[in-house]
Amino acid sequence: MAIYTYQDLIGPHDEGLSHFIRSAIDRHESSALVRTAKVADLYDHQQNKTINEYVRILYTLGGSEVEDYTASNSKIASNFFNSLNTQRVQYSLGNGVSFLDPDEEGEDTTKEALGKYFDHDITEAAYYALIHGVSFPFWNLDRLHRFKVTEFVPFWDEHTGELRAGIRYWRLDDADRKRPLNVVLYREEGYSRWREDEGRDLRPLAGQGDDFAPEEVVVGYKTTYRYTEADGEAEVIGEDSYGRLPIVPMYASRLQQSTLVGMQQAIDSFDLVRSGFANDMTDCAMIYWLVENYGGMTDAELAQFRDRMKLTHIAPVDSASGGKVTPFTQEIPYQARETYLHEIRAGIYEDFGALDVHTVAAGATNDHIDAAYQPMDDRASDFEYCVGEAIHQILAIQGIDDSPRFKRKRISNQMEQVQMVVLEAPYLDRQTILSKLPNIDSSEIAAIMEAQEASDMDMMGIMAAAEEPPAGGLPSEE
């Protein structure tokens, strides 16, 4: 089913705008993008779809499939998906985003304009972009909101490919269809709110209230309200827009697809092998016996014989009839599985371009650490380019001309790094030295500089006092 475009949104609607909105949501929900995103959400919450739905099957003599209820069915879900995506996001954004043009006093005015929550908001938007393939940050006057692809219908321009409008939709509980569907239609000139009524018809809401309106009410993104003391009612006294849609697409890579694509099969294979090993340990008895020449025993007598063996560890044998009880132990093959799990785990990290800390030996030099980080640096460059492009568009909405800067978060041999700074110290000023020391945070540099300057002033005062002659003059020589 083809998606709707921006031209479809602004075109005539024979059955009304409300019917078009619901149809657009239904088409979006049935798209491959959303289906993949919902599966990615399961893996992100360690509810891996394949292993959780796995059922052991037996085949009857007639060839029919039946579930094997007697077999163990451990379902051990790994957490690769959440762990690796978190690593990629935190590697580039864990230290926050800074900008290239601070003012004369050294303050980051762009960062201040974006608000104190910007680092948190952009990190969350970037994570959604990774696991879903794309996310949609919305600049709402003074705060960045994050729309997931599972709750936002984009309308792309057929001619330019730009995002020109969108629908955000949600319920209080997705599983409970009795809860009303809430909808906000975002366009360049403003937004309008819609909600299902008791008859499940989608109807527009009047402004900020919950009352239904006879027709769509469009509200500007920059709306000024005035409240009267008499009744406390809000009165709109001014509306304006940004001149463009304040929602931008954020991709996590040039592929513009979820990181689950291609990764799911490897995770499923790892989970199935590890769970199968646990099931074999449960199903295979550690010790079993072969009982010879006791064919006349009934099933009940065999069960009683087994219970007595487990309790007393003694079995009576009738040597005259040739009876014999032979114990056997059964070992579960594990070496091949252990090797396979190790190989597939290493393959998952390699394909994702992540750092497996277990591969970095203790005491490794920074050259070895840098080599281990190289695949991650390559993927981070692609990731930061896409995130940076989205930030550029967010800044353009506010009329700010600036560029983001990312400080990657990585481990290093701090002793080696400190030794290098000490060797370079004669050629560097004090502030540069402090900024290069790995155990000093950038927020501590100003306080350390002030304390050092105060200490230097005190030392200069002490030295000046020591050089002054005593009050009675210099002593005469006799």
Contact 271/76 with Cβ under 8 angstroms?
A: yes
Residue 152: its pLDDT value, please?
97
Residue 20: its pLDDT value, please?
95
Long-range contacts, stretch 397-403, CB < 8 angstroms, 24+ apart: 397/139, 397/242, 397/244, 397/246, 397/248, 398/113, 398/139, 400/110, 400/113, 402/99, 402/100, 402/101, 402/110, 403/99, 403/100, 403/101
Rounded CA gap, 406 and 95, in Å? Answer: 8
With tokens 């980080």, the residue in question is: 373
Mean pLDDT of the chain: 82
The string of pLDDT tens digits covering residues 404-414 is 999 888 765 55
Looking at 98-102, 273-277, 310-314, 469-473, which range is the least confident one?
A: 469-473
Contact 193/183 with Cβ under 8 angstroms?
A: yes
Calculate the CA 239 to chain-centre distance: 36
- The residue-averaged pLDDT of 93-118 equals 80
- In the predicted structure, residue 103 carries a pLDDT above the cut 50: no
Long-range contacts, stretch 440-448, CB < 8 angstroms, 24+ apart: none
Question: pLDDT-derived band of residue 234, with 50, 70 and 90 as boundaries?
Answer: low
- In the predicted structure, residue 231 carries a pLDDT above the cut 60: no
Residue 473: its pLDDT value, please?
58
Contact 164/155 with Cβ under 8 angstroms?
A: yes
The string of pLDDT tens digits covering residues 413-451 is 556 567 677 777 888 888 888 877 777 776 678 888 888
Residue 298: its pLDDT value, please?
80
Question: pLDDT-derived band of residue 330, with 50, 70 and 90 as boundaries?
Answer: low
Rounded CA gap, 254 and 251, in Å? Answer: 7
Structure tokens given for 251: 């991709």
pLDDT, greater one: 123 or 329? 123
Residue 301: its pLDDT value, please?
78
The string of pLDDT tens digits covering residues 368-404 is 677 778 888 899 999 999 999 999 999 999 999 999 9
- In the predicted structure, residue 334 carries a pLDDT above the cut 90: no
Instruction: Report the percentage of the chain scoring pLDDT > 90.
Output: 42
φ, ψ dihedrals at 144, nearest 5°: -95, 120
The residue among 219, 248, 28 whose CA lies nearest residue 139 is 248
Question: pLDDT-derived band of residue 104, with 50, 70 and 90 as boundaries?
Answer: very low
Rounded CA gap, 411 and 407, in Å? Answer: 13
The residue among 389, 388, 446, 398 whose CA lies nearest residue 112 is 398
The string of pLDDT tens digits covering residues 271-291 is 988 888 777 766 665 566 677
Residue 391: its pLDDT value, please?
96
The string of pLDDT tens digits covering residues 175-220 is 787 889 999 999 999 999 999 998 889 999 987 667 899 889 998 8
- In the predicted structure, residue 100 carries a pLDDT above the cut 80: no
- The residue-averaged pLDDT of 39-66 equals 80
Residue 467: its pLDDT value, please?
67
Contact 204/190 with Cβ under 8 angstroms?
A: no
pLDDT, greater one: 100 or 94? 94
- In the predicted structure, residue 82 carries a pLDDT above the cut 80: yes
Structure tokens given for 155: 């309308």
Question: pLDDT-derived band of residue 101, with 50, 70 and 90 as boundaries?
Answer: low
